[in-house]
């Protein structure tokens, strides 16, 4: 039997021991798995669309100190999630981990909190594309960019992502692979053009680490913390490598590396990009006072014509990011619905016979993401003088939702370890060894800290939105959970020991079948 066939056979057995059949097409390699998380992180989306937010609150020092600070703690969190993905390789990811480590109720809440974050991240990413694309289109076609035209462009972008994800994972996987290289290439183009073609030259390097300057009405240290939203939102969505784990070959190794490496590479390339953009600033007050600080800086440094070319290239990278985010979101809903965790689960768990993709889950992801931005559009239309920005609102919702969902299984693993329910033998091939508990504690402290920072004024609207969703979730607990949710198949085994026993039984059964080699 070929190595390729053998890997697929072992991957299928790994999934079977958690009670699931192999339904999704398993065709993604290691780079494709990395690429989807790298594309969702998308330094050309988060760092760029919220560049003005970071500059307003933290000045140039936000790029020099804020970005590395956030990246350091996020790498700790990513390592914890990678360890869990290696141990429990199912598409349900966060909520399967929580269900197995504790119980189905913890898993159910984790899934819904993650879903809240996923709605925010898809809406935030595609709205970022629209706030860049709409002014560029307005300039090209001679209309005025408004909240309404931005919303229309947003809807069209979501529609394009829904169609492509519906058509098939093979096409999306190829586009994700291309997206990863495209991001790196555009960062290189942006850095080189600013380094050698900037009309006004560059500031000295120490400008990047200049602290004390804020354009807000807050004390600098407090303003700096608010500005961390720029980096913190950029480093979201890397759990996509876990959500596509059932479509990945050799997932217990490749998916963990996909999670961790996507954060590490984003940190490095993002810092280089932010450094050159910041060093290109000639009038920081004018940049802050503009409608879009990033567009202003690029246009001022490279001129309107060449600057617009660069901005179109950046906007295309954002579009790829949104495409990947729909893929991740739909797989999460598919896995949750497969376990009857959502109302009308039978619909969202359906797989297209032609394309072998969770088609209905894909379109539900599109609709929910549009609704979040549309509700904000109604609020802003009724109150045009609102202090918060739409993009800050959407991104803060995603940060709080996603990082709370990241933190729950990390916390539950610590508890399981202390109780002896999760031991070394339960780990997958990718693990943190003796540093696991320390890294988990640091990760949890950062998650608590950043979730508080993300919902204080001027981002209190995000706090209200998350609180409202949590109230709705509690209502659903009584109206739906108790009557319909039996828990994921992954949690039907009551402990990690039962799962290991099932693995042994599956391997023994496979070894007795002709033509199948038993995994050592």
At 518 the pLDDT is 28
Task: State how far Cα 224 lies from the chain centre.
Answer: 23
Q: Give the angle subtended at the CA of 331 by the CAs of 376 and 446, to the nearest 5°.
A: 65
**Which stretches in the chain have pLDDT values below 70?**
1-27, 169, 387-388, 489-520
Q: How many whole angstroms separate alpha carbon 208 and alpha carbon 61?
A: 6
Tokens of 459: 């981002």
Q: How many whole angstroms separate alpha carbon 295 and alpha carbon 61?
A: 19
At 221 the pLDDT is 95
Q: How many whole angstroms separate alpha carbon 166 and alpha carbon 161?
A: 8
At 11 the pLDDT is 63
At 290 the pLDDT is 93
My answer on whether omega of the bond before 430 falls inside 30° of 0, hence cis, is: no
Q: How many whole angstroms separate alpha carbon 324 and alpha carbon 361?
A: 14
Closest CA to 462 of 389, 368, 408, 407: 389
Per the listing, tokens 């319909």 go with 484
Q: How many whole angstroms separate alpha carbon 448 and alpha carbon 408?
A: 11
The H or E element spanning position 221 is helix 220-227
As a residue count, the chain comes to: 520
Bridge partner list, 248:
28
Q: How far is CA 455 from CA 379, 393, 401, in A?
A: 18, 9, 11
At 243 the pLDDT is 81
* Number of other residues whose CB lies within 10 A of the CB of residue 68: 13
Q: Three-state SS for 97?
A: helix
* Number of other residues whose CB lies within 10 A of the CB of residue 472: 12
Asked whether the beta carbons of 277 and 55 are under 8 A apart, the reply is no
My answer on whether omega of the bond before 458 falls inside 30° of 0, hence cis, is: yes
Q: Give the angle subtended at the CA of 333 by the CAs of 5 and 314, to the nearest 5°.
A: 85
Bridge partner list, 28:
248
Asked whether the beta carbons of 456 and 227 are under 8 A apart, the reply is no
pLDDT tens, position by position, 303-348? 988 999 999 999 999 999 899 889 888 888 887 888 888 888 889 9
At 484 the pLDDT is 79
* Number of other residues whose CB lies within 10 A of the CB of residue 125: 34
At 132 the pLDDT is 93
Q: How far is CA 182 from CA 39, 118, 176, 244, 320, in A?
A: 10, 24, 9, 21, 9
Asked whether the beta carbons of 490 and 98 are under 8 A apart, the reply is no
Asked whether the beta carbons of 484 and 476 are under 8 A apart, the reply is no
**Radius of gyration for the chain, computed over Cα atoms and rounded to the nearest angstrom:** 23
At 505 the pLDDT is 66
Tokens of 402: 């996603």
At 423 the pLDDT is 86
Task: State how far Cα 329 lies from the chain centre.
Answer: 9
Q: How many whole angstroms separate alpha carbon 502 and alpha carbon 22?
A: 16
Question: What is the fold of 26-483?
Answer: Amino acid/polyamine transporter I (1.20.1740)
Task: State how far Cα 50 lies from the chain centre.
Answer: 15
Asked whether the beta carbons of 49 and 132 are under 8 A apart, the reply is yes
At 18 the pLDDT is 65
At 17 the pLDDT is 64
């Amino acid at each position: 039997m070929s190595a390729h066939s053998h890997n697929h056979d072992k991957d299928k057995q790994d999934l079977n021991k958690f009670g699931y059949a192999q339904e999704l097409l398993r065709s993604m390699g290691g780079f494709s798995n990395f690429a989807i998380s790298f594309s969702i992180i998308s330094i050309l989306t988060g760092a760029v669309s919220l560049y003005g937010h970071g500059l307003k609150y933290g000045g140039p020092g936000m790029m020099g100190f804020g970005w590395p600070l956030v990246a350091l703690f996020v790498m700790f969190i990513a390592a914890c999630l990678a360890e869990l993905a290696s141990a429990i390789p199912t598409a349900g990811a966060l909520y399967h981990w929580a269900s197995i480590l504790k119980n189905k109720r913890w898993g159910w809440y984790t899934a819904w909190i993650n879903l809240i974050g996923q709605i925010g991240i898809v809406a935030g990413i595609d709205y970022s594309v629209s706030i860049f694309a709409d002014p560029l289109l307005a300039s090209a076609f001679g209309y005025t960019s408004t909240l309404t035209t931005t919303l229309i462009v947003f809807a069209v972008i979501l529609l394009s992502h829904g169609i492509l994800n519906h058509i098939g994972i093979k096409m999306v996987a190829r586009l994700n692979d291309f997206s990863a290289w495209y991001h790196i290439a555009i960062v290189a183009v942006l850095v080189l053009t600013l380094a050698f073609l900037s009309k006004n030259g560059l500031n000295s390097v120490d400008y990047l680490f200049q602290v004390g300057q804020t354009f807000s009405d807050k004390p600098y240290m407090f303003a700096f913390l608010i500005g961390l939203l720029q980096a913190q939102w950029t480093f979201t969505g890397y759990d996509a490598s876990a959500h596509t784990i059932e479509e990945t070959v050799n997932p217990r190794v490749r998916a963990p590396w996909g999670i961790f490496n996507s954060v590490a590479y984003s940190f490095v390339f993002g810092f280089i990009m932010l450094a050159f953009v910041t060093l290109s600033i000639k009038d920081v007050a004018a940049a802050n006072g503009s409608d879009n600080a990033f567009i202003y800086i690029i246009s001022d440094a490279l001129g309107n014509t060449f600057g617009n070319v660069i901005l179109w290239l950046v906007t295309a990278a954002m579009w790829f990011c949104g495409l990947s985010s729909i893929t991740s979101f739909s797989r999460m809903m598919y896995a949750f619905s497969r376990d009857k965790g959502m109302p009308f689960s039978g619909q969202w768990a359906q797989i297209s016979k032609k394309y072998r993709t969770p088609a209905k889950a894909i379109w539900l992801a599109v609709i929910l993401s549009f609704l979040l931005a549309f509700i904000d559009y109604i609020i802003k239309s009724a109150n045009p003088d609102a202090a918060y920005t739409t993009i800050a609102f959407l991104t803060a919702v995603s940060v709080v939702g996603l990082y709370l969902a990241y933190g729950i299984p990390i916390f539950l693993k610590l508890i399981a370890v202390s109780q002896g329910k999760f031991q070394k033998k339960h780990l997958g091939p990718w693990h943190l060894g003796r540093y696991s508990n320390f890294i988990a504690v640091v990760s949890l402290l950062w998650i608590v800290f950043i979730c508080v920072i993300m919902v204080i004024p001027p981002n209190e609207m995000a706090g209200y939105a998350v609180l409202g969703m949590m109230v709705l979730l509690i209502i659903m607990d009584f109206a739906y959970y108790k009557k319909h949710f039996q828990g994921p198949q992954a949690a039907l085994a009551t402990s990690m020991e039962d799962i290991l026993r099932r693995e042994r039984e599956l391997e023994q059964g496979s070894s007795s079948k002709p033509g199948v080699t038993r995994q050592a």
